[in-house]
Amino acid sequence: MEKLGESDAVLWSRCVGDDPEALGQLFDRYADAVFRYCLSRTASWQDAEDLVSVTFLEAWRKRRNLALERESLLPWLLGVATNAMRNRSRSRRRHDQFLARLPHSPVEPDHATATAERMDAEQQVRDLLAAATSLTDGERDALMLCAVHGYSYQDAAEALQVRLGTIRSRVNRAKKKLQAAAPTGLGQAALETFEESRQS
């Protein structure tokens, strides 16, 4: 990714000095990458947009606690996004369990009108996630970061706060599980679709 203007380190230093414009520049630089990762994990355009906001708000909140040690802030942002997704998933499970205990409390469907492009993108993600039901959370996160979004193993390891070898083995196991996910080859087809769209 070509970065124009000040380096991440300079912009982050400005953030630490309470400069919101610097955070805005980092948002412009990395929001799309964070969004694509969140969309691939949640299969929801709206959730992905919300999680991007949560990620950058958390970055601003923690600006004095992070010393940027690498050239790019992106791996750290992806780690924040991963934690935000896990927290949201736990909250939704608790909410769903609560609703299930209430009599006559159906969950209303979302009637928002979506564009054809958005629906196609969400369907591709659903296909991949449906094929990946046997993956652990760690395998799923590693697969999305490395195989789908093309991040290096090193960046993924930093984002997920695990060792480099752990990322390699998780991606390898995830790909094998996807290839064996269904007799129709749904898992492999979905993975190839994502890899092709990422390279185009």
Continuous H helices in the chain: 8-16, 20-42, 45-61, 74-101, 116-131, 137-143, 153-160, 164-179, 186-199
**Which residue did the predictor score with more confidence, 53 or 182?**
53
Domain boundaries, the chain: 1-105, 114-200
Q: Do the domains at 1-105 and 114-200 have one common CATH topology?
A: no
pTM exceeding 0.75: no
- State pLDDT tens for residues 42-77: 888 989 999 999 999 999 999 998 888 788 999 999
Confidence grade of residue 184 (pLDDT, cut at 50, 70, 90) = low
Tell me what the mean pLDDT of segment 97-101 comes to.
61
What's the confidence (pLDDT) of residue 105?
47
> Which secondary-structure segment (H or E) carries 196?
helix 186-199
- State pLDDT tens for residues 83-94: 999 888 776 666
- Going by CATH, does the domain composed of 1-105 fall within 1.10.1740.10? yes
What's the confidence (pLDDT) of residue 32?
95
- Going by CATH, does the domain composed of 114-200 fall within 1.10.10.10? yes
